[in-house]
Amino acid sequence: MTDSPPTADNSRPAWRFTLRGLLVWIVGLSLLLAVVGGFLRAVNNARRQAHAIASQGAFNQLLLALHNYHDQFGSFPPAYVPDGQGRPKHSWRVLILPYVEQLALYEAYDFTEPWDGPNNSRLLGQMPRVFATDFSQVALGNTQVVAVTGPGTAFPGASVTRLFDLRDGAENTLMLVEATNPAIPWLAPRDLEIAVLDSERGAFAGRRAAGAGSEEARISGPSWRRPYVVFADRITAYGIDPRIPRDKLRALLTIAGGEAVRRDDLVAEGWLD
């Protein structure tokens, strides 16, 4: 009886091949995930960049509209038009509609009734995109651009302000700010009151949060960037650091406080970008 030829033990090479294949598969999957992750981050960054450019464009267009209004009437619009009892009835946002290519919407607005009257309420869903920094809010009719209002500001109330009233310098005076929280109907004669600066919470709302109701407007924006503000002198929006000292912010919100606070210095210090 002859011995059978020895058979090759293929178990170890097969095991080595399986382990090697698994390692190759893991490395390949890791590389694929890295590529996909990098692509998604690039897409997200591009989306955010486009969002930021569009938001800045809204502020730039609105400031230009305010100056065109000033050229025609010799002053900026009032923060609101009052009713017979002096209560806010119509917003500055309605008054500048012809200057943001919305003449038809302006003519559809009824100044004989309040902003939330039967006719005007039907216009809430027709908010021009220029009042939105979050375009998802357009259909809801909620503005994210508000004026700084109250005594000593460029929008003191029912009275008007002219360029030469900005004695601190137009380049050092804030006109419009971003306020994404709480939700404010764009037709409402409601804006950022300078009085909130002296409140416990201050003028900033922190990260954006959905909300509505009677809460006072505060400067706020998306969590991934600074809120935008625009000054009276140029169509360039700046991002403002919510940690800016209150005295410096107050100097920017008032038109004739005489403070030695300059925009260019705040840019150099990093409070504005």
Residue 134 has what pLDDT?
74
Q: Which of 248, 199, 249, 207 is nearest to 227 (CA)?
A: 207
Residue 124 has pLDDT above 60, yes or no: yes
Q: Are 54 and 135 in contact (CB under 8 A)?
A: yes
Q: Tell me the mean pLDDT in the region 42-65.
A: 67
Residue 45 has pLDDT above 90, yes or no: no
Residue 41 has pLDDT above 70, yes or no: no
Residue 49 has what pLDDT?
53
Q: pLDDT confidence of 239, banded at 50, 70, 90?
A: very high
Mean pLDDT of the chain: 84
Count of beta carbons in the 10 Å neighbourhood of residue 233: 17
The region, left, alpha or beta by phi > 0 then psi within -120 to 50, assigned to residue 206 is left
Torsion of CA 42, 45, 51, 56, to 10 degrees: -130
Q: Tell me the mean pLDDT in the region 22-40.
A: 64
Residue 182 has what pLDDT?
73
3-state secondary structure (DSSP) of residue 221: strand
Which two structure tokens, joined as six digits, stand for 6? 């020895």
Q: pLDDT confidence of 223, banded at 50, 70, 90?
A: confident
Residue 189 has pLDDT above 70, yes or no: yes
